[in-house]
Amino acid sequence: MNKIKLSFGDRNNYTWVENENATVCRIKCEIKIDNICDKYQDKLQKLFPHISFNYFNNMIRFTSTGVAKLSPDDKYDKILGRHIAEARAKQKAYSVANRVICTYYDILNEDMDVLYDFTEESAHQYAHEEEHIEYLIEKGE
């Protein structure tokens, strides 16, 4: 069974920028989509030009950023800031992944509509030819 998976990899995929006012977490993310063909990859790339897509082994790669800002009343806590920034980066990654997958689904659905229309039309034409054959057989008798 094919699955779609969003992964963040190991801690080597995380980049931190910290100061006394904010903590920024950048995570390299990957969406694995089995059996995605070039046609759909090209359409997704055109629809998401602001995201860096690299297609290799059906992987879509992008970077997600989360920020934890220190309010004036708070005391700087490096660990808490990292946790919040990481959670926000992951939340954004899931949002991006969801938009990409929903768009991918819509693209696939367009193709499915074409296939459905064809099967409906071919069933109609099959029935028409069935009637035509019966007419020809009756006319020939």
User: Rounded to the nearest 5°, which phi and psi values hold at 93?
Assistant: -60, -45
pLDDT, one tens digit per residue, over 107-124 is: 888 878 877 888 888 988
Tell me the residue range of the domain where 35 lies: 4-140
Tell me the CB-side half-sphere exposure of residue 124, using CA atoms within 13 A: 6
Q: Long-range CB contacts (< 8 A, 24+ apart) of 66-71?
A: 66/24, 66/25, 66/27, 66/90, 66/91, 66/92, 67/22, 67/23, 67/24, 67/25, 68/22, 68/23, 68/24, 68/25, 69/21, 69/22, 70/20, 70/21, 70/22
Report percent pLDDT > 90 for the chain. 30
Please tell me the predicted confidence (pLDDT) of residue 54: 60
Number of domains the chain contains = 1
Integer Cα distance of 103 and 42 in angstroms: 12
Low-confidence ranges of the chain (pLDDT < 70): 1-2, 35-39, 52-57, 141
Q: What type of residue sits at position 4?
A: I
Please tell me the predicted confidence (pLDDT) of residue 18: 92
Please tell me the predicted confidence (pLDDT) of residue 87: 96
